[in-house]
Amino acid sequence: MRPVLIAGGGLAGHACALRLIEAGFEVELFELRPFFGGRACSYRLPGYGGSEIDNGQHVLLVLHGAVGFLPPVRG
C-alpha cells in the first residue's frame, strides 16, 4: 500500500494522520514551517517585553468538537 501524504502539520493534519494510521494506512506528514502545530503555536510579541503568547486554543476546541481529536491523543 502506498503511503498517504498529508500536507500541513497543524491540528487538522495530525487528526487526519491519526485516523488514517488507525485504519492501517502508512502516513507521511509534511509541514512548510520549521515546526508542527499550525495555528496552535506560541510566539514572542515584539515591543511588549518579549512576552510569549499562546495561540490556537480556540482551534483545538473547535477541532475536538468536529472530529474528536483529544481522546486519541490522550489515549
What single-letter amino acid sits at 24? G
Ranges of beta strands (E only) in the chain are 4-7, 27-30, 41-45, 51-55
Model confidence pTM above 0.75: no
Q: Which pLDDT score is estimated for 6? A: 94
pLDDT tens for the 75 residues of the chain, in order: 788 999 998 888 988 898 999 999 999 999 998 888 877 777 887 887 878 877 776 666 666 666 665 555 544
